[in-house]
Structure 1
Amino acid sequence: MRRLLYACLGLIAAPAFAQNIQNNPGSNHGNKFEQLGTVLPTPNEYRTASGAPGPKYWQQRADYDIKCELDEEKLRLTGSETVTYFNNSPDQLTYLWLQLDENEHSSENNANYQDASTIGKETVDLAVSRMEESKNDNGVNIVKLTDALGKPLKYTVNKTMMRVDLPAPLKPGQKYVLKIDWNYKITDRMKEGGRGGYEFFAEDGNHLFTMAQWYPRLCVYSDFQGWQNHQFTGRGEFALTFGNFKVQMTVPADHVIGSTGECLNYQQVLTPAQLARWQKAQTAKDVVEIVNLAEAKAAEKNKSKAKKTWIYKADNVRDFAWTSSRKFVWDAIPATVEGKKIMCMSFYGKEAYGLYRPYSSKAVAHTIKSYSKFSIPYPYPVAQSVEAANGMEYPMICFNYGRTAPDGTYSEQTKYGMLGVIIHEVGHNFFPMIINSDERQWSWMDEGLNTFVEYLTEELWDNKFPSRRGPAAYITDYMKLPKDQLEPIMTNSENIIQFGPNAYSKPATGLNILRETVMGRELFDYAFKEYARRWAFKHPTPADLFRTLEDASGEDLDWFWRGWFYSTDATDIAIDTVRYLRPEFSEPSNNNASGTKKTKLAKPQVNAFEDLSKIRNREDKNIVFEVDRDTTLRDFYWRYARGLEPYDSTTYEVPATSNVTKADDEVKKNFENKHVYEIAFSNKGGLVMPIIVEFTFTDGSQEVDRIPAQIWRKNESKVTKVYVKNKEVKSIKLDPMKETADINEANNTWGTIAEPSKFQLFKYKQNTRGQSTGITPMQKAQEKSKEKKAF
């Protein structure tokens, strides 16, 4: 969701830190690259270690048949719904939980998640009125709740949740039907906030209704959480169960409705001219106005007292939303995704005509085609954008903003803001409307993943698109904030202070860093599409995403999840020192004139004490040691260990040996013109990242080296790297393309390379591993034996 928020008066909330277990917290290694096995949930038959659904994965289903009526004069919505709930779980259920989101506006049944507040020297009436305790209960009125036969059911409303107690346990494989009659007063969302409600246009006396989160909806019951019945506070959005919908909406006869799903009765609700335009739009090459501007303006002035009923059907969706107004212009253009036609449509008032008419439906088409490229093919028959001074998403329909000045002109900021919000909200059809994560628990799986693909889609709209969420350089101001103003991405949405950066920008940026810098586009895109394919129309968790991206790419990314998602560390890699060296060639220092060294013979290799096993083995009469069974195995060192061969404590002078020798002509030719640089890096921000080094040479040429993040695995604080170059380096710079979100560029450059110092370079003389060298006790013993025989 992207929407305009009214200014709060100094709201403050305490941070809640997600768990980031470290096995070696007192050390400079063994933490950042520790596997997440102790943090992630244990794989099971429902969710595998690969990140895929398991062989016994299950999820519930809820079908809805709803009839409702919009009373524009009284600003009230009345509804009656029949819900069929399918228990596909292995558990018996004794009750069902439903969401009553409109209780957000209730003075009695709101979630009661209050924030601290202050008031300054100057403020506005709206801000003060919001501080007043509400005296009106504008929540959901449950008029009647029964089973399929009309027998009343017991229920309990707890704030924004309603528990329905079942007369008998609902067993695995069974279904249950309940009927609910309800109503509520529709709120002015421009003043009171919230997803659904109305906007009133005083200049023409009309309303624009956005009917969202408007009916009692089944909560998700899942294998990893049970019932997701966390209260709705207005921020954390929702988790919902897939099902089929049939909805009948009775509204003023001159209203136009846009809705989730496909309309079943356009022939009854549209004029013959509008129906003909709708049919023309099915094969049009450009946008067609089904309800044109002149018709919308005429309806604004001549308000009908009659009613019409629009009927919509939607299959395999997790929610249902709609909009209704006589102000609407309605246009459409078809788009094709993998051979399937999708009607891309927009609804907007005259106030937005100058922007929405040329851009909106085409932006919808571009979005579903781009997201289909990066995730899965768009599966639904329609995709819609509604201008409602808002930013919120539902299956096949979303509410966006973007209005012109009265003369029809607009600013560049308004244009790109409108395009961005349309792409973002239409994109939510994929995340989380299809890849159905739990928004209330993990906002970033909804907003962050969607913002990431929004960024990719914006970049494909226009190479000069002013995208702000995705490039690494734009997250640094957030990541350099004091730690008490930050929380990990893996934090519940209600407890986040900087919600936009935390839930939208940082996860989107992290995924972009993975794509462009850590994994590369080919590996990342394949793995990300695999995640979307595996979890389309299912309920993924963060572990399923993390595991799938690793499983499908062959990359160990636990270090990245741990740092970017579970901590508040930032990237701040510094160049501490640069040593410039040139080789010189001389004799090795240990090749002295005499060529000898003094040494003593090795003592017997026996244990410092005899352990219990040795003692018991010796005392066990049933054990026969092999060297006792076969005495031919008893050599010099068998006797030496037992003192049967005496230890010789003499100091001997022996030839000095070395694995290096003076460089020959070939070594000199290969290395005499090389320039060697030893760079010392320090990790000042705590977050391990690849080190990207740009060299600028004295001849003006440049070269970039990319060091994987794993260089930090043995020392997470300081590392050095030696480079051998054919040319002299003039300057060195880290992260030249600002890929790693480094928060301090001041320590990223080294502009003055000191005069070179010398280092000795020798030729390596290969030794054979395991070959005995030097003087040994056996050798000396044999020499003495020969001397005795000589006498």
Structure 2
Amino acid sequence: MKYSTSTALIGLVLAFSGLLSVDSQASKAAFDDKFRQLGEVLPTPNIYRTASGTPGHKYWQQQVDYDISIAIDDKTQRLTGEQIMDYQNNSPDTLRYLWLQLDQNRMKRDSAYKMTSRAPSEKKVTFDSFRQLVESPIFDGGYGITKVSASNGKALHYVINGTMMRVDLPKPLKSGASVEININWHYQLHEQKVLGGRSGYEYFKEDDNYLYEVASWFPRAAAYYDAKGWQNKQFLGNGEFTLEFGDYDVKITVPADHIVAATGVLQNESKVLTSTQRKRLKQAKKAKKPVLIITPAEALANEKSRSSKTKTWHFRAKNVRDFAFASSRKFIWDAQGYQQGNSNTMAMSFYPNEGNPLWEKYSTEAIIHTMEQYSKYTFDYPYPVSISVNGPVGGMEYPMITFNGPRPTLDDETGEKTYSRRTKYGLVGVIIHEVGHNYFPMIVNSDERQWTWMDEGLNTFLQFLAEQAWEEGYPSRRGHATNITSYMKSDNQVPIMTNSESILQFGNNAYGKPATALNILRETIMGRELFDFAFKEYAQRWKFKRPTPADFFRTMEDASAVDLDWFWRGWFYTTDHVDLAIDNVYLYRPNSQNPDVEEAWERALDNEQPEFISDLRNKNQWIRTQDKPELLDFYNDHDKFTATNADRNKYNEEHEKLESWQKDLLTNNSKFYVIDFSNHGGLVMPILLDITYADNTTEHIYIPAEIWRKNSKKVSKLLIRDKEISEIALDAKWQTADVNINNNYWPARPIQSRFDLYKEKKKDMMRDYNEALKDISAEKINNEAEHQEEGK
């Protein structure tokens, strides 16, 4: 390998001075400290939340218990309920009123959600989207509150503000006291596939049946906690639910031929299930594979029945933050017991025949797989049931029950149901994701209304781990660093720490980016052992409690002894991206000070230089000294690199004064490589180098991110090696989400792509002329329409 004089300086001292000059530039320019601590950003630790990330010795949270009776009218799709809410004030504060969430008010005609929805930007709109655009403003949903009273029956004053309801208490609720509030209400369920949302019904025209997935269906106490006070921010559609833990006693009245799946444990099996169904459930408890409680044939028979009677299903659930249920006469039902550690659970799936053959094969297996994998990184699943329901909702989670959408499609030619690769992995992935939400946020109870990433991001990270444990090469959508690079270099983003309702790209911001960040932490920055211990510590500390981002950040550092403030700041508080580059590679050697050695080295370098074009062309021209040799002298016999006796004498004199170790340094034969790096993206990350040597051996070098602490834009690294380096690759395994890998190699590599060849079609000139006239006419119409809109 050849090195030009511009990249092979003489003295090693110059190399060190060059390194110093890079860092010294930072003192002149504005210093961007990527490693300053988050102390001024995170809330001050206190008796409720400590600096280590643990709940403080005075930590508290409210307890809210519910006794609810609900009925579904299968003819009108109307929901009618009454509830008793027991609110226990465990805070140190006296409360004069309570705030309740009325999330269904989002469906009211004049709701902030509907009034602030924006026009579609696309000129092409699908029929389904257009139908929603047309019918959403017409549908007038939301709660009809018919009664709000105290335990003595006396009416309580209340005020409804959008999706929130304030109930004024008859007397101040002191710390440690409780109050009972009775509420009667009703609302109209909507067709989910038409109006969207997280619940609703699906209508099956072929057999005239309904499948109900019911959530956010009763007035629920809003969260009141130390770091926020009342979380009474309006529900605009994105920021989900911030709720209190409590015990639920729920009675659900439905048509007698319906099957109900719900949060909690069924209390009246003998009244709502047949003896055969109860026997099968008992068998499923110890089964090695799912047992059909209701078979496909039985489900087909059920969906043809039309009972005029009703049944009431009675469920109880302890220490949950919400309650949801599903009901239909179309359900197939399978179940399998799951016992591991402290878990003793029934995994169950409810789905119509339209879901097979996909659901019977994968749903319950995916539930069990999720609990097995998530428990490795968090805690044993604590609840008695875990349910997956196939209905209109594409994917949504509630304690012990999830709604999941993917189904096979009917092949028009064969009449058989088939499913694509995308549908298969879509189902497995969504079940893992939604069941995983039982851990985050149903148990680790973060504030979803404020920080979507705290449940979606953490859960998507664990989903990635669980998917990769499902099968080798599982096609995970999120988690791999390369999958987030397009988003991270785009202008259409906001920091992860942005409020849920203000996020621009919801999936990338709240799901993909935090999941990728955690995967990079685990695999590249902290290592699996440190990360897994710290992450599990966070889950254990905050299960059945309400953490904030600061509690997560502090716990991860506290349990690992790794300073991660720079990482949280860059990945969560900014929109910087990763783009590290190799700028230059220099090869240095020590100056031996021996004139014979050094002059010979310079002569060798000079000989490697290309000859100047004039010198090449002048070789055959007349030269004066050829005819007049008397003009030649000493300097013609010795080039400019010839050492003189004076040089040698000076060297010998000074060399004698050196100590032996100094003489050894002057004759060091190692190769001193200095590599210059630039940070174009702003996000500091470790420098991961893969070195290939001239003898084809390789070496991996990990340089911590702290190398950027004094200059976040440019750094240089000295590598001392005995072998010649032939190639250097930066982040060769694509671990850091670097958005531009083309500047990651030395020597540079060509950018690979391809182009397509096609056969040119002969043009019909008259047809092209006519089409051009149409285009001109259409463009004129569009321009006129745009001007009219601007005028409005």
Instruction: Report the TM-score, using the length of structure 1 for normalisation.
Output: 0.81
Paired residues of 1:154 and 1:165 also in contact (CA < 8 A): yes
**How is 1:604-623 mapped onto 2 (pairs within 5 angstroms)?**
none
Shift of 1:686: 0.2
Question: In the alignment, what sits opposite 1:173?
Answer: 176
Query: Structure 2 matches for 1:407-556, cutoff 5 A?
Result: 407-482=416-491, 485-556=492-563
Matched residue, 1:394:
398
2:418 match: secondary structure: coil
Matches within 5 A, 1:751-762: 751=747
- What is the alpha-carbon distance in structure 2 between the residues aligned to residue 391 and residue 750 of structure 1? 46
Partner of 1:559: 566
Q: C-alpha deviations, 1:162-208, integer Å up to 9, x for none?
A: 00011111000000000001000111111101111101111111111
Aligned pairs (5 A) from 1:671-686: 671-672=668-669, 674-686=670-682
CA distance in 2, matches of 1:659, 1:748: 46
Aligned partners of 1:731 and 1:752 also within 8 Å:
no
The question of whether the paired residues in 1 share the 8 Å contact of 2:107 and 2:114 is answered with no
Residues in 2 aligned to 1:161 and 1:459: alpha-carbon distance in whole angstroms = 41
Q: Following the alignment from structure 1 to structure 2, what is the Cα–Cα distance between the partners of residues 659 and 192?
A: 90
More displaced, 161-170 or 114-123? 114-123
**Pairwise mapping of residues 618-633 of structure 1 onto structure 2 (< 5 A)?**
none
Displacement after TM superposition at 1:244 (Å): 0.1
Q: Describe the shift of the 1:660–1:325 C-alpha distance in structure 2 as closer, same or farther (beyond 3 A).
A: farther
| Aligned equivalent of 2:65 | 63
1:713 aligns with 2:709: yes
Whole-Å Cα distance in 2 between the matches of residues 527 and 357 of structure 1?
37
Q: Could you say if the C-alpha distance between residues 542 and 588 of structure 1 is closer, same or farther in structure 2, counting changes exceeding 3 Å?
A: farther
Q: For 1:746, give the aligned amino acid.
A: N
Match in the other structure for 1:3: none
Name 1:187's counterpart in structure 2. Answer: 190
Q: Does 1:51 align with 2:60?
A: no
1:718-772 CA-to-partner distances (Å, cap 9, x unmatched) read 000011123221111100111110000010001279xxxxxxxxxxxxxxxxxxx
- Sort the Cα spacing of 1:119 and 1:473 in 2 relative to 1 into closer, same or farther, 3 A: closer
| Paired residue secondary structure (1:31) | coil
Determine the C-alpha separation between the residues in 1 that align with 2:469 and 2:683: 31
Q: What secondary structure, in the 3-state scheme, does the structure 1 residue paired with 2:362 have?
A: helix
Equivalents in 1 of 2:658, 2:689: separation in Å?
32
Map 1:360-399 to 2 at 5 A.
360-389=363-392, 390-399=394-403
Q: Does the C-alpha gap of structure 1 residues 119 and 723 become closer, same or farther in structure 2, counting only changes over 3 Å?
A: closer
Deviation, structure 1 residue 216: 0.5
Unaligned runs of 5+ in 1: 1-23, 590-654, 754-791
Superposition pairs of residues 76-115 of structure 1, within 5 angstroms: 76-111=78-113, 114-115=116-117
Q: Is 1:250 aligned to 2:253, yes or no? A: yes
Q: Contact 1:109/1:139 (CA < 8 Å) preserved in 2?
A: no
1:510 CA drift (Å): 0.5
Distance, in Å, in 2 between the alignment partners of 1:113 and 1:472 is 38
Counterpart of 2:691 in structure 1 is 695
Out of 710, 723, 726, the position equivalent to 1:727 is: 723
Q: Counterpart amino acid of 2:339?
A: T
Asked whether the equivalents of residues 572 and 744 of structure 1 are also in contact (C-alpha less than 8 Å), the reply is: yes
How far residue 224 of structure 1 moved from its aligned partner, in angstroms, is 0.6
**1:286: how far off?**
1.1
Instruction: Give the C-alpha shift of residue 675 in structure 1.
Output: 2.7
Aligned partners of 1:659, 1:142: CA distance in 2, in Å? 98
Amino acid at match of 2:480: P
Aligned CA distance change for structure 1 residues 124 and 510 (closer, same or farther; 3 Å)? closer
Q: 8 Å contact 1:111–1:159 — kept in the other structure? A: no
Alignment-derived partner of residue 348 in structure 2: 345
> Structure 1 stretch 359-368 or stretch 100-109: which is displaced more?
100-109
Q: CA deviation at 1:303?
A: 2.2
Q: Partner of 1:553: helix, strand, or coil?
A: coil
**CA–CA distance in 1 between the matches of 2:202 and 2:242?**
27
Q: 2:284 aligns with which of 281, 301, 305?
A: 281
Which secondary structure does the structure 1 equivalent of 2:685 belong to?
A: coil
Range that drifts further, 692-701 or 471-480: 692-701
User: What's the secondary structure of 2:569's corresponding residue?
Assistant: helix
Q: State the alpha-carbon separation in 2 of the partners of residues 526 and 28 from structure 1.
A: 38
Secondary structure at the aligned position of 1:144 is classed as strand
User: How far does residue 664 in structure 1 lie from its aligned partner after superposition?
Assistant: 6.8
Establish whether residue 149 from structure 1 lines up as the match of residue 152 from structure 2.
yes
Q: Deviations over 1:61-103 (max 9, x none)?
A: 1000000111111100100100000000011101000011111
Distance in 2 (CA, whole Å) between partners of 1:576 and 1:667 is: 29
> Contact (CA 8 Å) 2:267, 2:314: kept in 1 or not?
yes
Indicate if the aligned counterparts of 1:401 and 1:418 stay in contact, CA closer than 8 A.
yes
Deviation at residue 118 of structure 1 after TM alignment: 4.2
For 1:353, give the aligned amino acid: N
Asked whether the equivalents of residues 588 and 661 of structure 1 are also in contact (C-alpha less than 8 Å), the reply is: no
Contact 1:160 1:231 in 2 (8 A): yes
Q: Does 1:742 align with 2:746?
A: no
Q: Secondary structure at the match of 1:732?
A: strand
Shift in CA distance, 247/419, structure 1 to aligned 2, threshold 3 Å: same
Letter in 2 for 1:80: E
> How far, CA to CA, are the matches of 2:657 and 2:587 in structure 1?
26
Percent identity of the aligned residues? 52
5+ residue gaps, structure 2, are 1-25, 411-415, 597-652, 750-792
Q: Is the Cα contact below 8 Å between 2:144 and 2:187 reproduced in 1?
A: yes
Give RMSD over aligned pairs. 2.2
Identify the residue that residue 217 of structure 2 maps to in structure 1: 214
Which one is further off, 407-416 or 427-436? Answer: 407-416
- Per-residue deviation, residues 381-405 of structure 1 (Å, max 9, x unmatched): 1111111241000000000122112
Separation (CA, whole Å) in 2 of partners of 1:27 and 1:348: 64
Query: How does 1:193-212 map onto structure 2 within 5 Å?
Result: 193-212=196-215
SS at 1:371 equivalent = helix
Judging by fraction of residues, say which structure has more helix: 2
Q: Assess, with a 3 A threshold, how the Cα gap between structure 1 residues 675 and 358 changes in structure 2: closer, same or farther.
A: same
In structure 1, the partner of 2:610 is none
Q: Deviations over 1:616-641 (max 9, x none)?
A: xxxxxxxxxxxxxxxxxxxxxxxxxx
Partner residue of 2:236 out of 218, 233, 237 = 233
Distance 1:108 1:738 in 2: 49
Q: Hey, what's the Cα distance between the residues in 2 that align with 1:30 and 1:52?
A: 31
Q: Equivalent of 1:75, from 54, 74, 77?
A: 77
Q: Which amino acid aligns with 1:474?
A: N
CA distance in 1, matches of 2:486, 2:520: 17
Higher mean C-alpha deviation, range 573-582 or range 523-532: 573-582
- Larger deviation: 133-142 or 153-162? 133-142
Distance 1:502 1:710 in 2: 26
Q: Matched residue pairs, number?
A: 661
Give the SS at the match of 1:232.
coil
Q: Offset at 1:408?
A: 2.8
Residue aligning to 2:33 = 31
* Deviation at residue 110 of structure 1 after TM alignment: 4.6
CA distance in 2, matches of 1:261, 1:27: 62
Note closer, same or farther for the CA distance 1:419–1:588 as it changes in structure 2 (3 Å cut).
farther
Check the 8 A contact 1:585/1:663 in 2, yes or no.
Answer: no
Q: Tell me what 1:294 maps to.
A: 297
Q: How does 1:659-674 map to 2 (within 5 A)?
A: 667=665, 671-672=668-669, 674=670
Query: Match for residue 359 of structure 2?
Result: 356
Tell me which amino acid in the other structure corresponds to 2:706: Q
AA aligned opposite 1:714: K
Contact 2:524 2:735 in 1 (8 A): yes
Matched to 2:512, the amino acid is S
Match of residue 158 from structure 1 = 161
Q: CA separation of 1:120/1:514 partners in 2, compared to 1, >3 Å: closer, same or farther?
A: closer
SS at match of 2:206: coil
The one-letter code of the counterpart of 2:348 is M
